[in-house]
Copies of this chain bind each other. A is one copy, B any other.
């Protein structure tokens, strides 16, 4: 029997790597979609890239949408493109990917759409106006997809990373010294858990934190 296909969008970072390894190690075939492969903000490009993947590997069982854009600055000093880039890496790219994989999932009545959120998905903050805009938007999209596609057998979940990842660009910029961070493998294991939850007891939103996160 062929292995289920996991598609990692935003495969370039540390979490993308852990997700690929863990899903691969648990019986999935894993393919990645990187910025170099196609512009996530371009709906036609995403549709073509994913159609090509499906033609080669078969329908997607699990979408792991893990793209994001880092922009931290006082509101009046944000670069002109920051808000647009946060929206494109967030809800716009996510909607394009969901649209491309959903028909194949609906045809078999199963599948997983899993999206990576952040502290900024739940709370706005000074210096995080652009990121909170993008991450709130993604959460609103994911909740809407869950309500629409859960009854059709598609598990739609949002994973809120309320803290930083060891080895990430964000941690290298913003975490000082011995401050606690989450391990990418510890985080990735939870996406695998979500993909395997029993269908009559699905999680829609999962938060993950270090033991020291203030939340």
Contact = CB atoms under 8 A, between A and B. Distances in A.
Interface of A: 43, 74-76, 80, 83-84, 87, 91-92, 95, 98-99, 102-103, 120-121, 123-129, 132-151, 153, 155, 180-183, 185-187, 189-190, 193, 197-215
A185 B128 CA distance: 33
Chain A interface, DSSP helix/strand/loop, else mixed? helix
Interface centre among A76, A132, A189, A210 (most CB of B within 10 A): A132
A134 B137 contact: yes
Contacts of A149: 75
A123 B208 CA distance: 17
22 contacts: A75-B144, A75-B148, A75-B149, A76-B103, A84-B92, A87-B91, A120-B140, A123-B143, A124-B139, A124-B145, A129-B141, A129-B145, A132-B143, A133-B138, A136-B140, A136-B141, A151-B212, A185-B198, A189-B198, A202-B208, A203-B208, A205-B207
A29 B140 CA distance: 36
